[in-house]
A and B are shown apart, each in its own frame.
Chain A
Amino acid sequence: MNRAAVSIAFVGPVLLLAVWWLAFDAQWVNHKLLPSPWSTVQSLWESVVSGSMTRDFLSTLNRTLSAFAMAAAAGIPVGIVLGSNQKVYRSIEFLVDFFRSTPATAMFPLFLLIFGIGDFAKIAVAAFAAWLVVVFNVAYGVMNARQTRILAARVMGASSLRVFRDVMFFESLPQTFVGLRMAASVALVVIIVAEMFIGSSDGLGRRIIDSQQVFDLQQMYASIIASGIMGYGMNLIFLGIEKWLVHWSGK
Chain B
Amino acid sequence: MIAQPETKLRPVPAPEQAPPRQTYITVRGLSKRFGGSVLYESFDLDLPQGRITSIFGPNGCGKSTLINMISGLTPVDAGEILFDGKTLRDTTIGYVFQNYRDALMPWKRAIDNIKYPLEIARKSKAECSRRADELIASFDIGFDLHRYPYELSGGQQQLVSIMRALAPHPEVLFLDEPFSALDYEMTLFIRDKLQEIFVATGVTMLLVSHDLEEAVYLADHVLLLTKRPTRVAENVRFTAPRTRNAGTLSTDYFIQTKAHCLEIFQREVRK
Task: Write the residues of chain A forming the contact surface with B, with a CB cutoff of 8 angstroms.
Answer: 146-149, 151-158, 162, 166-167, 170, 173, 247-248, 251
With A157-B117, A158-B120, A170-B107 in contact, is A152–B97 under 8 Å at CB?
yes
CA distance A153 to B99 in the complex (A): 14
> Does B183 make an interface contact (CB < 8 A)?
no
Residues A248 and B106 in contact, CB atoms below 8 Å apart: yes
Which of these, B103, B107, B120, B121, contacts A248 with CB under 8 Å? B107
Residues B103 and A148 in contact, CB atoms below 8 Å apart: yes
CA distance A157 to B120 in the complex (A): 7
Which of these, B102, B117, B150, contacts A156 with CB under 8 Å? B117
Nearest CB in chain A to that of B116: its residue: A156
**Chain A proximity mask over B125-160: 1 for CB below 8 Å, otherwise 0:** 000000000000000000000001010000000000
Quick one: which of B86-100 are within 8 Å of A by CB?
A: 92-93, 95, 97, 99
Q: What are 15 A-B pairs at a CB distance below 8 A? A: A146-B102, A149-B104, A149-B105, A151-B73, A152-B103, A152-B104, A155-B73, A156-B117, A157-B121, A166-B105, A170-B107, A173-B107, A248-B107, A248-B148, A251-B150
> Does B72 make an interface contact (CB < 8 A)?
yes
Residues A155 and B105 in contact, CB atoms below 8 Å apart: no
Residues B150 and A248 in contact, CB atoms below 8 Å apart: yes
Query: What residues on A are CB-neighbors of B178 within 8 Å?
Result: none
Query: What residues on B are CB-neighbors of A173 within 8 Å?
Result: 107
Shortest CB-to-CB span from A59 to chain B, Å, is: 38
Quick one: which of B44-100 are within 8 Å of A by CB?
A: 71-73, 92-93, 95, 97, 99
Query: What residues on B are CB-neighbors of A247 within 8 Å?
Result: 107, 148
Which of these, A146, A156, A170, contacts B120 with CB under 8 Å? A156
CA distance A151 to B73 in the complex (A): 7
Shortest CB-to-CB span from B172 to chain A, Å, is: 11
Q: Point out which of B97, B105, B121 has the most chain A C-beta atoms below 10 A from its C-beta.
A: B105
CA distance A248 to B152 in the complex (A): 13
CA distance A251 to B149 in the complex (A): 10
Of all A-B residue pairs in the complex, the 8 with the closest CB atoms, nearest first, are: A248-B106, A148-B102, A251-B150, A156-B117, A155-B95, A170-B107, A152-B103, A146-B102
With A146-B102, A167-B105 in contact, is A155–B71 under 8 Å at CB?
yes
Query: What residues on A are CB-neighbors of B107 within 8 Å?
Result: 170, 173, 247-248
Query: What residues on A are CB-neighbors of B106 within 8 Å?
Result: 248, 251
Q: Point out which of B92, B97, B107, B117 has the most chain A C-beta atoms below 10 A from its C-beta.
A: B107
Nearest CB in chain A to that of B92: its residue: A157
CA distance A146 to B101 in the complex (A): 10
Residues A162 and B120 in contact, CB atoms below 8 Å apart: yes
Residues A149 and B120 in contact, CB atoms below 8 Å apart: no
Q: Point out which of A149, A151, A170 has the most chain B C-beta atoms below 10 A from its C-beta.
A: A151
Query: What residues on A are CB-neighbors of B92 within 8 Å?
Result: 157
Query: What residues on B are CB-neighbors of A154 within 8 Å?
Result: 72-73
Other A-B contacts than A151-B97, A157-B92, A157-B117, 13 sampled, CB-CB below 8 A, are A149-B103, A149-B104, A151-B73, A154-B73, A155-B72, A155-B73, A156-B95, A156-B116, A156-B120, A157-B120, A166-B105, A247-B107, A247-B148
Query: What residues on B are CB-neighbors of A158 within 8 Å?
Result: 120
CA distance A151 to B98 in the complex (A): 13
Shortest CB-to-CB span from B250 to chain A, Å, is: 37
Query: What residues on A are CB-neighbors of B168 within 8 Å?
Result: 156
Query: What residues on A are CB-neighbors of B117 within 8 Å?
Result: 156-157
Shortest CB-to-CB span from B210 to chain A, Å, is: 18
Residues B97 and A148 in contact, CB atoms below 8 Å apart: yes
Query: What residues on B are CB-neighbors of A146 within 8 Å?
Result: 102
Shortest CB-to-CB span from A128 to chain B, Å, is: 32
Shortest CB-to-CB span from B97 to chain A, Å, is: 6
Shortest CB-to-CB span from A126 to chain B, Å, is: 32
Shortest CB-to-CB span from A152 to chain B, Å, is: 5
Quick one: which of B173-226 are within 8 Å of A by CB?
A: none
Residues A170 and B105 in contact, CB atoms below 8 Å apart: yes
CA distance A151 to B69 in the complex (A): 12
Residues B95 and A152 in contact, CB atoms below 8 Å apart: yes
Q: Point out which of A146, A152, A158, A173 has the most chain B C-beta atoms below 10 A from its C-beta.
A: A152
Shortest CB-to-CB span from A141 to chain B, Å, is: 14
Shortest CB-to-CB span from A51 to chain B, Å, is: 44
Residues A148 and B99 in contact, CB atoms below 8 Å apart: yes
CA distance A157 to B89 in the complex (A): 8
Q: Point out which of A156, A162, A170 has the most chain B C-beta atoms below 10 A from its C-beta.
A: A156
Nearest CB in chain B to that of A154: its residue: B73
CA distance A206 to B99 in the complex (A): 55
Residues A155 and B102 in contact, CB atoms below 8 Å apart: no
